[in-house]
Amino acid sequence: MIELNINGRTQSVDAAPDTPLLYVLRDHLAMNGAKFGCGLGQCGACTVMVDGDAVFSCLTPISIVAGRRIKTVEGLGTIENPGPLQRAFIDEQAAQCGYCIAGMMMRAQALLEKNPSPSDAEIRRHLMPNLCRCGTQMRIFRAVRRAAQAMQAGDGASERSRA
Partner 1 sequence: MKSCGAQRNALTRREFLAASGALVIGFSLAPSSLRAQKPPGPKLPGSLDANPMLDSWLRIDADGGITLFTGKAELGQGVKTALIQIAAEQLYVSPQRIRLITADTRQTPDEGYTAGSNSMKDSGTAIMNAAAQVREILIARAAERLGVAADRLKAQEGAVVADDGRRLGFGELVVDGLTKVRADGQSKLKDPAAYSIIGKSMSRVDIPAKVTGGAAYVQDLRLPGMVHARVVRPPSYGARLRELQTAAVEKMPGVLKVVRDGSFVAVVAAHEYEAIQAMRSLAAAARWEERATLPEQAEFYAYLQKLPADIIVDLDRQAAGSPGARSFEASYRRPYQMHGAIGPSCAVGLFKDGVLTVWTHSQGVYPLRKSIAEMLRLPEDRVQCIHVEGSGCYGHNAADDAAADAALIARAFPDRPVRVQWMREHEHQWEPYGPAMLTSVKAALDSAGNIVTWDYEVTSNTHSMRPGGAGNLLPAWHLETPFAPAAPKPIPLPEGGGDRNAIPFYRVPSVHVVHRFVPAMPVRVSALRALGAYMNVFSIESFIDELAQAAGADPVDFRLRHLDDPRARDVVSLAAARFGWASYVRAPGRGRGFAFARYKNLAAYVALALEVDVNREKGSVRVVRAVAAVDSGQAVNPDGIRNQIEGGIIQSSSWTLHEAVEFDTTSIKSADWSRYPILRFPEIPESIDVHVIDRPGAAFLGTGEAAQGPTAAAIGNAIAYATGARIRELPFDRKRVRSAIGV
Contact residues toward partner 1 (CB under 8 A) are 15-16, 19-20, 23, 26-28, 30-33, 35-40, 42-43, 45, 72-74, 76-79, 82, 86, 89-90, 93, 95-102, 105, 124-125, 127-128, 130-139, 141
- Other CB atoms within 10 Å distance of the CB of residue 120: 10
- What is the nearest approach in angstroms of partner 1 to the Cβ of residue 119? 13
Residue 10 or residue 81: which is nearer to partner 1 going by CB?
81
Residue 55 or residue 123: which is nearer to partner 1 going by CB?
123
- What is the nearest approach in angstroms of partner 1 to the Cβ of residue 147? 11
- How many Å apart are CA 38 and CA 130, to the nearest integer? 11
- Tell me, what DSSP letter sits at residue 45? T
Residue 55 or residue 72: which is nearer to partner 1 going by CB?
72
DSSP string, 98-154: -TTHHHHHHHHHHHHHH-SS--HHHHHHHTTT---SS--HHHHHHHHHHHHHHHHHH
- What is the nearest approach in angstroms of partner 1 to the Cβ of residue 160? 28
Residue 43 or residue 55: which is nearer to partner 1 going by CB?
43
- Enumerate the β-bridge partners of residue 57: none
First to last CA, the chain: 45
- How many Å apart are CA 154 and CA 150, to the nearest integer? 6
- How many Å apart are CA 109 and CA 19, to the nearest integer? 25
- What is the nearest approach in angstroms of partner 1 to the Cβ of residue 106? 10
Residue 37 or residue 55: which is nearer to partner 1 going by CB?
37
- What is the nearest approach in angstroms of partner 1 to the Cβ of residue 43? 6
